[in-house]
Amino acid sequence: MSAVRGVRGATQVGENSPASIAAGTVELLGELLAQNQLTPQDLISVIFTVSPDLDAAFPATAARSLGFEEVPLLCAVEIGVPGSLERTIRILMHVNTSKSSKEISHVYLHGAKSLRSDIAQ
């Protein structure tokens, strides 16, 4: 039986450049898809947020290179809380899956592991 689930992830990139944002987005999406045995066809929608210091490119642009052309994508800026992690891309995917909530793998890479050290990869 299939259900709608939320899949979360985040990564920290090295710099505010189109190449760095694209590479970080592709790496994180690849891990989220692989660890949850998903394809772009399983996705309902994806919300990307970036920390206020990342404004060189849209993460959604990189997602399209992975076959996300038919998936609704939205980019937004995170709240600039003082002291929060810099150069961070966050993802919330809404997916159709037969996995239970407990079976979902949420992925936190690089410096973003500090955001959820309890579940970071």
Told to judge if 87 belongs to the known catalytic residues of this protein, a careful annotator would answer no
User: Has 5 been annotated as catalytic?
Assistant: no
Residues forming beta bridges with residue 87, ordered by sequence position: none
Q: Looking at 75, 86, 87, 103, which residue is catalytic? A: 75
31 among known catalytic residues: no
Report d(CA 69, CA 39) in Å as an integer. 12
Buried b (16+ CB within 10 A) or exposed e, 5-27: bebbbbbbbeebeeebbbebbeb
Catalytic residue among 8, 86, 87, 103: 8
Tokens of 69: 């052309």
Active site residue 8: yes
Active-site residue, from 70, 86, 87, 108: 108
- The catalytically annotated residue of 78, 86, 87, 103 is 78
Of 15, 27, 31, 64, which is the active-site residue?
Answer: 64
- Active-site residue flag, 86: no
**Which residues belong to the active site?**
8, 64, 75, 78, 90, 108, 116
